[in-house]
Structure 1
Amino acid sequence: MEVMFDSNTAEFVINTPCESAQKYWIGGAANHATHTVVFSQLEINGKNLGVHAFICQIRDADGNVCPNVRIADCGHKSGLNGVDNGRIWFDNVRVPRENLLNSVADVSPDGEYLSAIEDPDKRFAAFLAPLTSGRVTIAVGAVYTSKMGLAIAIRYALSRRAFSVTPNGPEVLLLDYPSHQRRLLPLLAKTYAMNSAANYLKMMYVNRRPQSNKTIHVVSSALKATLTWHNMRTLKECFEACGGRGQKTENLVGRLKGEIDVQSTFEGDNNVLMHQVSNVLLAEYIAVKKRNNIFKGLGLEHMNKPCPVIPSQLTSSILRSSQFQMDVFCLRERDLLNRFAAEVSQRQAKGESKNYAFILSYQLAEDLGRAFSDRLILQTFIETEETVFAGSLKQVLGLLRSLYAVICMEEEVAFLRYGCLSTDNDAAVRKEVMQLCSEVRPHALALVNSFGIPDAFLGPIAFNWIQANSWLSVDQ
């Protein structure tokens, strides 16, 4: 997409130069929207000034498509078909100069470009800052959907019985099987931890200031990716844990699963967002080393402290210590940031550009982005546990926090790959996961009920699944 400024008429001319430049997935565009905000490269007197945002009318008040605008539906989707997504082409559409969203930069009537931000990269970031709200909303919404799936699956597992373990003995509740606990309860712990991180992100966004834009961008990018990946995994596991009844639309889990898969790509592809996180962390690392300074912000202050030392033998009490948990999560992040910076530097020394060196080091970049997210989530969970809760509630939260920490240690291969944990300690972690699952099990119903989800948002199997499937429930 390109925009030229016509100084003779003081208008911007918006044009789609080729098929790949069409605007895609525009919400409300296919059938309803009358106006849209177009993000496009601005060119004045042959000079490209980067991406800017323009208000453009695409339909009149009667719903007719405006001249020189072409609109098509994006077609049937695998989910969220209630959303009106469209594609737009602009054939030299003229809009008044005043239609430039000019909080960052402006253009005078005679074509002079005006901006207080000299650096094009910072100017680009400032233009995109308003889009952060989308990532915040998606990240928070992902936690809510995870809660719904877990509430349905765990409540069902507390009423559904299958087989007996003793001759002529009673059938066993699904959630009393250790394997079923292992499927659902770590996801429950992760959802509680991520809920703390989502609340932290919401407050950060509500209290935002211009100087906090970078931090909000990094945190929202990291949490949008991490929380939506978690949501997708949680709903898939809940869907399977409900057996054949998960297939029924009325039980909601399958429907939720189909609707949320798109979260991994809209408002930023998750893998790309993780690379953006690592890119900012790398820039911060280089700046600190160049100034021989200390780390401030982004939660990297732990880099100023001596490197944590992990005990050679991990016991249950050590694994449940919040101090140990923070130490090992910080060690992983610190080690990956050092490795990532070293690898990019080595590639640059061999003649690669900084950007290409970064691209070639994508594996470390992805590991670093996840390490940053996991440490941030654990940190916010510990702060919530210490400042909000007391007594027995704090004890239960401590179990969930420890289960979150050890399941991350077990699942994230970077802990073992880069030596944060030995193979012996990895075995101790695996054992602790099952022990914590058994201790969380008695609290499972209270934990999902505390989500406060209205009954109307839960499927029939979350209540009396036998009654919901009885002959009397069939339309005669």
Structure 2
Amino acid sequence: MAPDENGYVQPVVNVPALTRLLDGEHAIVRDRVRGALIEHSGLLAEADELSKDAYRDRVLEVVRATAEDGLTSYHVPKEYGGSGDFGAAVAAFETTAFGDLSALVKTGVQFGLFGGAILNLGTQPHHDAWLADMAAARLLGCFAMTETGHGSNVQELGTTATYDATTQEFIISTPDDSARKDYIGNAARHAELATVFAQLIVTSPDGQPQNHGVHCLVVPIRAKGKVLPGVRIEDCGPKMGLNGVDNGRIWFDDVRVPRTNLLNRFADVSEDGVYSSEIENPNRRFFTMLGTLVMGRVCVGGAGISASKVALTIATRYATKRRQFSTSEGEPEQLLLDYGMHQRRLFPLLARTYALHFAQDSLRQRFDDVFSGRADDERTRRGLESRAAGIKALGTWHATRTIQECREACGGAGYLAANRFTALKADTDVFTTFEGDNHVLLQLVAKGLLTDYSSEFSDMDQFELVKFVAGMAVEQVVERTMAHKLLERLKDVLPGGDDSWDQEAGLLSPAYQLSMLRFREEHMLAGVAKRLKRGIDSGMPSGEVFSRVQDHVIAVANAHVERLILDAFVGRFAAMPQGDNRVALGLLCDLFALTTIEADRAWFMEHNRLTTNRSKAISREINDLCRKLRPIAVDLVDAFGIPEELLRSEALLR
């Protein structure tokens, strides 16, 4: 294509090649899942028509069918029906999110949470007893962790598992309604077993009951479709969305299970009632157990990003069909996507979706490396847990924002259930709070930053962490983060020294974009450390200190994750060979970076890293990038590879 009068050559997108790039090393797995989604695409319409129980049973049929096709248990070892490929399991889950999200969540509960607890917390006898039937969906289960009174604070769960040495059984009890297991997927209708998290109580040699903290046991809750004695289950009732998932509440009234039902990878109780664990520190043992269940967070973040892709595909295509107003008399009405404001609404979200995709793909690779044993050390695991928490938080918030904006961009047509936004909005809304409330997860990210993922400090609760940071010389934190060392580093990026922050040239330089986000992250981190120390030095209780700086803690975590996302995008772009798709991805990368800076321009101005003139220049550049993306926008959403049958927007898109 010839250049225009300004010398600019409009990029051309090779859609199949871009789809292959996005699908990555698990392209075959993703294509197999797409085929299954097309086969069961009728479920999207049935969800609006079936009764509650009929919809739940239909979702179960679809989940079992995909299990029979071997699409749900890639992470399970080969001898139990899987392939031992953790990366493939994440890729399959992300792709499944293009379809009915009740089926997705039920898949996650059955194979990721219930099956994952047995796989990662159990040992070979547990694997031999349950994994093969779980993987084939012959044995249905649920993951009973959350309680009515204890959501994010898992360490303080109220359910108890008390060992009776005379019968070699654990007695599972719900002491009060605040300790009932709540919002448990699969519990209300289908689950036969539950992996129950409870306080493990064993009588010590001196005859005193000793609480060893939260552990996981396998507890039968149904047999032949009937709830077992001592177990009480109630349906949670209609929800905002995901009504194809049978969420329930569970109470246990002194239910006895064999001693061997304790999932004992990290701790065990002998026949005569002696508790043992290779991990002596109770906090470290608890966090190690939870760390093995990180797959849920990795998958939920990816699912949110996939849902954003569906919304953007529908809204972008609609904007190339729908016309509104003409620019001059006698001319045809203008397409929505030709309006600058419409581009401003959709294209930054499209760029952020691409950026999140590459960050999620990097996370998937790290997860695969850790769980396959290629990079399984404590520091790497801690880093994986932190990154998974951060990308899950930003990815699911992005889904909520993107779906809403895309719905509005489709006007009244987007409000019709037939055009999928109803289900997308309702079914993804809970993503921001399950697998960890996003604000709590970002506190986990900030904790990792403050302690530099050091195993010495990873077992601290938030108040111990405050005291630790406050006890450091604040110069240690500042020197390790911002201070003069950062500015020295930036001189290589900005040759003119500190004044170069105010030059218009270089806005599209990845080095400049990354340096801006790094500066923000490290300056914020030093600020949090100073505030923690100042609060403790003033004699304030550590709990109050933490509460007062919580907004800064969340801000630094958000800044850190956004920088990681840009790192991933820039890295993927740099590795691409020359070609049409490289130019298109370069535009998206620039748009993501500059809109991220623009969104926080007040902070950068407050800290003398952005002048009003440069801020205006960034906004002009963003508008220009949007105009350059306009001709290839449909190709960019088509590259997501969402089957036409799943868009469910025939009338809207024709």
Query: TM-score with structure 2 length normalisation?
Result: 0.67
Q: Distance in 2 between matches of 1:302 and 1:349?
A: 22
Displacement of 1:425 in angstroms is: 3.0
> Residue 26 in 1 paired to residue 188 in 2?
no
Q: Distance in 2 between matches of 1:88 and 1:389?
A: 55
Any conservation in 1 of the 2:482–2:523 contact (CA below 8 Å)? no
Question: How does 1:198-347 map onto structure 2 within 5 Å?
Answer: 198-208=360-370, 209-211=376-378, 212-284=380-452, 306-307=486-487, 308=490, 309=498, 311-315=500-504, 317-347=505-535
Q: Distance in 2 between matches of 1:15 and 1:285?
A: 36
2:551 aligned residue? 363
Any conservation in 1 of the 2:482–2:526 contact (CA below 8 Å)? no
SS at match of 1:163: coil
Any conservation in 1 of the 2:382–2:453 contact (CA below 8 Å)? no
2:581 aligned residue? 393
Any conservation in 2 of the 1:332–1:420 contact (CA below 8 Å)? no
Amino acid at match of 2:172: I
Q: Distance in 1 between matches of 2:393 and 2:645?
A: 29
Output one character per residue of 1:425-475: Cα deviation in whole Å (capped at 9) or x when no partner. 33332222212111111211111111111111113358743xxxxxxxxxx
Any conservation in 2 of the 1:156–1:462 contact (CA below 8 Å)? no
SS at match of 1:52: strand
Any conservation in 2 of the 1:97–1:107 contact (CA below 8 Å)? yes
Q: Give the unaligned 5+ runs of structure 1.
A: 466-476
Any conservation in 1 of the 2:383–2:453 contact (CA below 8 Å)? no
Amino acid at match of 2:185: G
Q: Distance in 1 between matches of 2:546 and 2:449?
A: 12
Any conservation in 2 of the 1:278–1:365 contact (CA below 8 Å)? yes
Any conservation in 2 of the 1:329–1:371 contact (CA below 8 Å)? yes
> Residue 38 in 1 paired to residue 217 in 2?
no
SS at match of 2:328: coil
> Residue 459 in 1 paired to residue 648 in 2?
yes
SS at match of 1:42: strand
Displacement of 1:293 in angstroms is: 13
Which one of 229, 235, 244 corresponds to residue 73 of structure 1?
235
Amino acid at match of 2:525: L
Q: Distance in 1 between matches of 2:592 and 2:338?
A: 20
Q: Distance in 1 between matches of 2:246 and 2:577?
A: 43
Greater mean alpha carbon deviation, residues 102-111 or residues 378-387: 102-111
Any conservation in 1 of the 2:193–2:219 contact (CA below 8 Å)? yes
Which one of 163, 174, 197 corresponds to residue 16 of structure 1?
174
Amino acid at match of 2:588: L
Q: Distance in 2 between matches of 1:438 and 1:456?
A: 30
Q: Distance in 2 between matches of 1:236 and 1:21?
A: 35
1:192 aligned residue? 354
Q: Structure 1 residues 277, 356: closer, same or farther in 2, change over 3 A?
A: farther
Q: Distance in 2 between matches of 1:329 and 1:306?
A: 12
Q: Distance in 2 between matches of 1:321 and 1:186?
A: 18
Q: Distance in 1 between matches of 2:404 and 2:510?
A: 30
Q: Structure 1 residues 285, 105: closer, same or farther in 2, change over 3 A?
A: closer
Output one character per residue of 1:104-158: Cα deviation in whole Å (capped at 9) or x when no partner. 1111122222111122221111111232111111111111111111011001101
Q: Distance in 1 between matches of 2:511 and 2:571?
A: 12
Any conservation in 1 of the 2:481–2:526 contact (CA below 8 Å)? no
Amino acid at match of 1:96: P
SS at match of 1:110: coil
2:639 aligned residue? 450
Any conservation in 2 of the 1:310–1:328 contact (CA below 8 Å)? no
Displacement of 1:336 in angstroms is: 0.8
Q: Distance in 2 between matches of 1:357 and 1:464?
A: 53
Output one character per residue of 1:226-262: Cα deviation in whole Å (capped at 9) or x when no partner. 0000011000000000011001112112321121101
- Percent identity over the alignment? 40
Q: Give the unaligned 5+ runs of structure 2.
A: 1-158, 204-208, 371-375, 458-468, 491-497
Q: Distance in 2 between matches of 1:341 and 1:217?
A: 22
Q: Structure 1 residues 356, 214: closer, same or farther in 2, change over 3 A?
A: farther
Q: Structure 1 residues 200, 163: closer, same or farther in 2, change over 3 A?
A: same
Greater mean alpha carbon deviation, residues 38-47 or residues 82-91: 38-47
Displacement of 1:13 in angstroms is: 1.3
> Residue 140 in 1 paired to residue 302 in 2?
yes
1:153 aligned residue? 315
> Residue 131 in 1 paired to residue 131 in 2?
no
Which one of 210, 213, 226 corresponds to residue 50 of structure 1?
213
Question: How does 1:364-383 map onto structure 2 within 5 Å?
Answer: 364-383=552-571
Any conservation in 1 of the 2:474–2:533 contact (CA below 8 Å)? no
Amino acid at match of 2:419: N
Output one character per residue of 1:376-424: Cα deviation in whole Å (capped at 9) or x when no partner. 1000001111113422221211111110011111213544444443444
Displacement of 1:355 in angstroms is: 4.7
Q: Distance in 2 between matches of 1:301 and 1:12?
A: 49
Number of aligned residue pairs? 459
Query: TM-score with structure 1 length normalisation?
Result: 0.91
Q: Distance in 1 between matches of 2:484 and 2:584?
A: 32
Q: Structure 1 residues 141, 210: closer, same or farther in 2, change over 3 A?
A: same
Which one of 88, 106, 119 corresponds to residue 281 of structure 2?
119
Structure 1 moving runs of 4+ over 6 Å: 285-295, 300-304
Output one character per residue of 1:60-114: Cα deviation in whole Å (capped at 9) or x when no partner. 1x11111111100011001000001010011111111111111111111222221
Output one character per residue of 1:277-315: Cα deviation in whole Å (capped at 9) or x when no partner. 1122112289899699999xxxx9999953335733242
